[in-house]
Amino acid sequence: MSSYIKQIQTTLKQAGFYKGEIDGIAGKMTVEAVNQAAQNKLLSPDEVRAVSEQHQSHPQLATPTPDAPTLAGGFVLGDGSLAKLNGVNPNLVKVVKRAIQLSSVDFRVIEGVRTKARQAELVRKGASKTMNSRHLTGHAVDIVPVIDGKVSWDFNHYYPLAKAMAQAATELGVKVRWGGAWTVITSKAGTPQDWVKAYRAGGGRFLDGPHFELPA
């Protein structure tokens, strides 16, 4: 039992999201209430994290089944990110929109559909290796983590994004490949770190952390 969790439950109950007892225990109903309140940003990231940590640290509370509620980080896609998704394959859009709800790290979409001129520019700069990018047909997106309000290019910050995208893709039944390890991450065992390690062990060198695509 936690007085901090009690305060969070009280806030959720006053806002109409929580119907359970104010017991200081981050059980299934509390997790579901936090998820429902995420779009309203009713709770701070620290409050969301506190519920998540208590829920996951107690075996009698954790719900690992496929239908179990997944605690959101309270993030939403901004207007700029939503605009970048215009023209992108609807299945991939669904995965991105679900991933932002699951992700422990905020992110934004920086690339969706590309023109051939844009792709040629990236190839010249070495940021892409092909003129046959899935971006050209709307089957790829690039997303980047936002840490303390700023875009991060630290590869370590891309692991939580890959995890969220994998979870969303698996949940929605959409096959998605991650450029960070050039492997399909839907229903894939292991962690993003494991996938990158295996890719490097196989001789892979072009790690494109922001890139997610629907395989051809």
Residues 43 and 93 in one domain: no
* Same-domain pairing of 87 and 134: yes
- The answer to whether residues 98 and 149 belong to one domain is yes
| Residue 56 vs residues 44, 128, 196: alpha-carbon distances, Å | 19, 39, 26
Tell me, yes or no, whether 86 and 34 share the same domain: no
CA-to-CA distance for 37 and 16, rounded, in angstroms?
9
What string of DSSP letters covers 143-172?
Answer: EEEEETTEE---GGGGHHHHHHHHHHHHHH
pLDDT for residue 63 is more than 70: no
From residue 30, alpha-carbon distances to 17, 52, 53, 72 in Å are: 9, 10, 12, 12
| Residue 101 and residue 19 share a domain | no
Does any domain span residue 70? Answer: no
- Residue 159 clears pLDDT 50, i.e. is over it: yes
Whether residues 122 and 152 share a domain: the answer is yes
Angle of helix 90-102 relative to helix 159-172, nearest 10 degrees?
120
Quote the CA–CA distance of 10 and 174 in Å, as a whole number: 37
Residues 46 and 124 in one domain: no
Helices 28-37 and 45-57, axial angle in degrees (round to 10) = 160
In a domain, 204, yes or no: yes
Do 86 and 155 fall within a single domain? yes
53/98 same-domain check: no
Is residue 62 a part of any domain in this protein?
Answer: no
| Paired sense of beta strands 140-147 and 150-151, if any | antiparallel
For residue 36, what pLDDT band results from cuts at 50, 70 and 90?
A: confident
Instruction: Give bridge partners of residue 108 from the DSSP assignment.
Output: 144
Same domain membership, residue 123 and residue 34: no
| Total count of domains within the chain | 2
pTM, 2 dp: 0.66
**Average pLDDT of the chain, as a whole number:** 87
Instruction: Report whether pLDDT(66) > 50.
Output: no
Which residue range is the domain that position 7 belongs to? Answer: 3-57
Please tell me the distance from the alpha carbon of residue 154 to that of residue 43, in angstroms, as a whole number.
27
Q: Encode pLDDT of 125-156 as tens digits.
A: 877 778 888 999 999 999 999 998 899 999 99
Q: Do 41 and 110 have their domain in common?
A: no
Q: Please compute the mean of the pLDDT values over residues 179-203 and round it to a whole number.
A: 96
- HSE value, Cβ hemisphere, 13 Å, CA-based, for 103: 28
- 49 and 113 inside one domain: no
Residue 194 has pLDDT above 80, yes or no: yes
CATH number at residue 95: 3.30.1380.10
